[in-house]
């Protein structure tokens, strides 16, 4: 079974998850990058990101080549922004036909995921959500523990 990992990460947490997933699955990896690469911090970052969610913005992604049809299993993940999957993930889902796939979804958040996972799943109808998982800022957690949790989770996919 061929697996693709697709992720977006603004502050590196989802990147940690993607890296450990890669080790546990040997899947192909697609990192989503937005055209806008300006680094924002502090309040400006939350205000900018929150506004994107509220306005349902779909930031433009840097071009990538991936043939979704080549994969049976797709793991998609990234951060929660203002209680929703980050806009960049939504851009990817909006511009890619993902249907009839076995999906694993992950989200990273700061402890207030709200209904982000439900919203994530609602964006992907017509697929089987085989497994889902969330992490609280995994880049700050013990790396070995995160790796172990991910390896176990992959086993449920
Ligand atoms: C614009 C913005 C909005 C956020 N909104 C939330 C939120 O609603 N709930 C939450 O728990 N964390 C929120 N966070 C924190 C991130 O989800 C969290 O730090 C996550 O681990 C970041 O993943 P990343 O490092 O892969 O970007 C927000 C972060 C940003 C930048």
**For residues 103-117, average pLDDT:** 98
CA of 70 to the centre of ligand 1 (A): 31
Burial class (CB in 10 A: 0-12, 13-18, 19+), 150: buried
Total-model pTM:
0.97
pLDDT confidence bin for 98, thresholds 50/70/90: very high
Would you give the DSSP letter of residue 67?
A: -
Per-residue burial over 92-111, b = 16 or more CB atoms within 10 Å of its CB, e = otherwise: bbeebebeebbbbbbbbbee
CA of 1 to the centre of ligand 1 (A): 32
pLDDT of residue 26: 85
Tens digit of each residue's pLDDT (9 = 90 or more) over 147-157: 999 999 999 99
Tens digit of each residue's pLDDT (9 = 90 or more) over 75-92: 999 999 999 999 999 999
**For residues 114-138, average pLDDT:** 98
Burial class (CB in 10 A: 0-12, 13-18, 19+), 142: exposed
Q: Which atom of ligand 1 is nearest to the CA of 80?
A: 17
Q: Which residues, listed in sequence order, are joined to residue 104 by a DSSP beta bridge?
A: 75, 131
Is the shortest distance between the CB of 89 and ligand 1 below 6 Å? Answer: no
Q: How far is CA 32 from the centre of its chain?
A: 9
pLDDT confidence bin for 129, thresholds 50/70/90: very high
Is the shortest distance between the CB of 137 and ligand 1 below 6 Å? Answer: yes
Tens digit of each residue's pLDDT (9 = 90 or more) over 53-69: 999 999 999 999 999 99
CA of 3 to the centre of ligand 1 (A): 26
Is the shortest distance between the CB of 50 and ligand 1 below 6 Å? Answer: yes
């Amino acid at each position: 079974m061929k697996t693709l990992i697709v992720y977006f990460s603004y502050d590196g947490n989802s990147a940690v998850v993607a890296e450990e997933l890669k080790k546990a699955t040997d899947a192909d990896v697609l990192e989503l990058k937005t055209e806008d690469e300006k680094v924002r911090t502090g309040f400006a970052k939350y205000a900018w990101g929150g506004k994107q969610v509220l306005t349902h913005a779909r930031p433009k992604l840097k071009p990538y080549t991936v043939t979704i049809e080549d994969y049976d299993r797709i793991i998609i993940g990234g951060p929660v922004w203002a209680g929703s999957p980050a806009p960049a993930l939504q851009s990817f889902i909006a511009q890619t036909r993902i249907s009839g796939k076995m999906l694993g979804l992950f989200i990273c958040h700061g402890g207030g995921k709200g209904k982000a996972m439900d919203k994530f799943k609602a964006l992907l109808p017509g697929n089987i959500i085989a497994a889902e998982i969330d992490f609280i800022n995994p880049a700050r957690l013990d790396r070995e523990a995160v790796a172990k949790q991910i390896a176990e989770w992959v086993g449920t996919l």
